[in-house]
Every structure is written in C-alpha cells, then in structure tokens.
Structure 1
C-alpha cells in the first residue's frame, strides 16, 4: 500500500474560471427523457475528430459538429432490451481502420457497433454485473478495457472477440470498479479505481504474449486461454472515499473522489518490489459540493485542461435521473511536461 511521504505538501490549485470566458454554448440537444451518462469525442481517428457519441438509456447516438455551431445526428443504435441502460461508450478501431463504438452498462454486456455498416459487430459476455467504464488503448485501438461492478477489470480484443486478461483476485479491487484508463505511452500499463477507495496500477508486460496471440487466434473466443492478473504493481490510497474517475496525465495520475476534490499525483514505484512505493501528491483541486459519486471528469486532447461537473444532490447512481443533473462545469488548466 503506497504511503504519502512526509515533506511533500501539495499545492492547492484553483478552479476559479477567468473573468473572460474562453468558451460559449453553440447548441443544445435533447435526447428523450432518459439521462445521458457519457459523451465522448473520437480522439482515436483523426478523420473523425469532429464526431462524438453519447450513451444513455438503451441508446447510443453519433453526432457530428459542423460549422456555425450546427450539430448533425449521424446515426443512433437502440438496444433490443428496453431495460438496458448504457453507462459508458468509447471509440475504437478494427485492425483495418473501421471505426467502432464500444458501449456497456447495466446488463454487463459489451456491444461493439460498426459505425460504417451501422450494425452490431460483436457482443461480449463475461462480466458478472454492470459495466461502469470502457476505455480504448490509444496505441492499439482494437484493444479495450472494461471496469465492472463485479470487482474486475477485463481486457478485450474487439477484432477477435477475445477476453485476453482479467484483472481481479487476491490483489484486486474489493468493491465496485468505477473507472479505468490506459497509460498514454506505456502500452503495458493501466490504472483502475473504485469503491474500495484505492487506485491500482496494473502491468500487462508479463502477459503480453497473450495479447499478441489474441490477434491471430482462429478458434472460438471461448477457447482462448484467458489469464488472471491477480496482483497490481502499485496500490495507492490517495483518497478516503469512493474514487470514481482516474486518468493518466503522462506518468502522473489525476483522480477524483466524492470527498470534493481532484488530486494530481505521481506514483513512485519500486521496480524490484512490485506493489511497494510512495505517492507524491503534486496538486489538489477542491471541487465543492461534488459528493455525487459516478460523475466523471474529462481532459482535452492535449491534457492541458479538464472539465468536471458538480451538484448538491446527495444520491448518485442509486437515482440515475439525478446523476447528470449538474449545476455547472468547472474548468482548470495546468501546464505539464509529458515527456
């Protein structure tokens, strides 16, 4: 368990926006009466940087930003199960460059949508409970990772439909996993966090041969030798309450908890002693009245700014209608050396 070293007092960052607004509302859209849980731009494929997708209820919708603030609806996928509620969606690519959308939610089923043919490409069944977040490997965008209420994180190959690795077990999360993220440059590393108040860093380096094997596997996906990764290489207790979102910022991690703050910190691992190390907290950003759990934050393409919602409600995912009833958005920026 990582400990915060003495003498490393964090700088308190400011979330107060400048008097001169650097943004303005250009359009508003209404998607029925069910809450929208996720909005994600396509940062995976430069051909579609102006396209974004939303997830909410049993629907995933694709939009395109046009000149003059116009937003066009391109396509919409409606799940056959009316009780499905998608909590998360992520852009990905097949190995031939075909753009995919990968969505999951209440039912624990991952839907891979081919946006070119506007059809379901594959459906993944494996998680034992709802899926809280899906993220795409930026260096290999046909790999996605999913975080679930079943206390596990799973790595999938969307081209072959194979579940390659399951991050769970003796050293895994002890409660619902709420968020997961790939390291932007270290292809082997991911970070996950959840309702056990911890952030865990995992390495796939030892199991990378299985990742490579998943691309050439020709037998049934169910016959693939899926491996369990039971021990993270680092465990950090930076927060004292649920950690509902974490993102890599270079080698730093920005994480959010329902204790009304975002924390920018650096994990300092001992290469010879996996699981051991210290945490250097670099900066804290207070976010008042942000005790609704499951509210994510998002970073811009260059990781220089982030946006986070907040509200005064005391219930979160137990009342989905309030989860995205946000009062305002707070913007903050910090120049970081990501080399």
Structure 2
C-alpha cells in the first residue's frame, strides 16, 4: 500500500491507461490533471498552467488507442485535449526510476492541443468514443462530438456535434455516465432514480432500456457497466448501490 501525494485539492476522478495499466491520471479541484506511475509512486506529468483549466477539473479520460492523448473537463465549461507524446522519455523513465519519487523530474504541460467549448455550463463527465468524445453538462442530454484540428475546422477548438442522447430529469451537475469495455452501451442515471441505457453504436441513437426500482427514488450520481455490458451498477446520493443483471429468457414452449 502506498500514498501518492501531489494534488492541492480534492480528487474528482481517476482513470487507468487501458494499454499500460501501470499509468493512471487524476483530475482535481486544484485545476490540474496529473499522470502517475502506480508501481514507482511517481508523478510524471502535471497538466496545468497557462492553457490549463481555470476551475475544478471534474473528469478525465485516456484515448482508447492513442495512449498519448487525454481529455479533461470541468467547472470552467471546457473540454481540453492534451498530448503527452513530447514527454515519452519521462513516461519511460518512470518505470525504471529507483531514487525517491520526490526527486523525479516531473514536467508541467501548460498548453493543451485544443480547448473545446461544447456546453454552456459545467462539464461533469467526458469519455472518448474512438476519436470522438462524449460529454455531459447540466442539460438533459449527453453530446457526442468530434474535435477538429485547425486544418479540419474553422480554427482551434472547433467541433462537429454528431448526435445527442436525451436523458430526462438530468439537469443537475455531478451526474456521470459510463460505458462497457467495447463501448456498445452507455448508462446514466437521473435525479428520479432511473437508469437510461443507450446503444452508442447506432445512428440515430437507440434507447436499449430504462432501468428502475421501487426502492430507488433518489438521484443516481454514478454508474458502472461491466466488461461485457451484462451488469450495471448505480450509486445513489444516499450511499445506496443498486445492481441490474441481464437475464436471458427461455423461448416460450408450445
């Protein structure tokens, strides 16, 4: 067991690098995102500064196939896309470092690849969907959009909104969604205790099911979908955890 010390405020989210599970990123109230090596206890990179977030960072995610890119979002209403490709030698060095973690030459990344304004309010949750991004604010919807480079778009930070996933009674902040490993299903709760499960591979969006329970009437703040999408967990704001399992029904016999 070890404690990794570095942030100057509460930590709002942690995500593991799917291609290198030793690496993880943390999003904090201190307006920064940090990249860590869990095995050596090293803080490798700090994403903050001149071009960084100007308020709490609420959510962060690794690109599923490009291990050098991350996306972060927060109370400053922005989604920022960062690259750590330039700092690959420091990432590699973190695996063989034998001195004290405090002596590691941690680098500060001050400028993101782009800053995107998709929502007009706090951005609570962001996830990569291939090269696209899913994000949620305080509107009753999740937005799927594509970030555009200067060459592709009309300037830095331009986007193309691809489609939206409606979620009734979800117009408050601090509600986060989740997906299964293969990004087939997206699950999100609302303030009425219901769970909406969307198929994220269809266009237009297709609602797979709406889950509810007579005992679950409070706001669902977080969901978790199992690897294959067969189990969904939901966490209510009263500390309760609810579980739904997919059940195969036998065909009716003649």
Structure 2 residue 55 is the aligned partner of structure 1 residue 175: yes
* Structure 1 Cα separation of the partners of residues 48 and 91 of structure 2: 17
Q: Deviations over 1:155-213 (max 9, x none)?
A: 00001000000000000000100000000000100000000010000000011110001
Q: Distance in 2 between matches of 1:335 and 1:167?
A: 31
Alpha-carbon separation, structure 1, partners of 2:102 and 2:18: 26
C-alpha distance 285-272 of structure 1, shift in aligned 2 (>3 A): closer
Q: RMSD in angstroms over aligned alpha carbons?
A: 1.8
The yes-or-no answer on 1:248 pairing with 2:128 is: yes
Gaps of 5+ in 2: 204-254
Structure 1 residues 259-286: Cα deviation after superposition (integer angstroms, max 9, x where no partner):
222000011113799x824201000122
CA drift at 1:251: 0.3
* In 2: Cα distance, 1:271 partner to 1:126 partner: 37
Query: 1:177 touches 1:193 (CA, 8 Å); kept in 2?
Result: yes
Distance (whole Å) between structure 1 residues aligned to residue 152 and residue 173 of structure 2? 36
Question: 1:209–1:241: structure 2 CA closer, same or farther, 3 Å change rule?
Answer: same
Whether 1:234 and 2:114 are equivalent positions in the alignment is yes
Match of 2:211 in 1: none
Measured in 2, the distance between the counterparts of 1:194 and 1:125 equals 22
Q: 1:332 aligns with which of 198, 217, 222?
A: 198
Q: Is the 8 A contact 1:184 1:250 kept in 2?
A: yes
| Matched residue, 2:84 | 204
**2: CA distance between counterparts of 1:122 and 1:336?**
43
What's the secondary structure of 2:95's corresponding residue?
helix
Measured in 2, the distance between the counterparts of 1:304 and 1:272 equals 27
Correspondent of 2:105 among 184, 202, 225? 225
Q: 1:129 is matched with which residue?
A: 9
Work out which of the residue numbers 307, 314, 318 in structure 1 matches 2:187. Answer: 307
CA distance in 2 between partners of 1:217 and 1:225 (Å): 11
Call closer, same or farther: CA 1:131–1:278 in 2, change over 3 Å: same
Q: 1:175 to 1:277 in 2, by over 3 A?
A: closer
Quote how far apart the aligned CAs of 1:332 are: 0.9
Q: Distance in 2 between matches of 1:144 and 1:236?
A: 23
Aligned to 1:258: 138
Structure 2 counterpart of 1:164: 44
CA pair 130-277 structure 1, distance change in 2 beyond 3 A: closer
Q: Is the 8 A contact 2:27 2:57 kept in 1?
A: yes
Selected match of 2:75 from 187, 195, 214: 195
Partners of 2:117 and 2:157 within 8 A in 1: no
Find the counterpart in structure 1 of residue 33 from structure 2: 153
Q: Gaps (5+ residues) in structure 1?
A: 1-120, 312-325
How has the CA–CA distance of structure 1 residues 216 and 272 changed in structure 2, closer, same or farther, with 3 Å as cutoff?
A: farther
SS of aligned partner of 2:4: strand
Q: Distance in 1 between matches of 2:156 and 2:52?
A: 15
Shift of 1:305: 1.1
TM-score, length of structure 1 as denominator length: 0.57
Q: Which residue of 2 aligns with 1:213?
A: 93
**Contact 2:36-2:45 at 8 Å conserved across structures:** yes
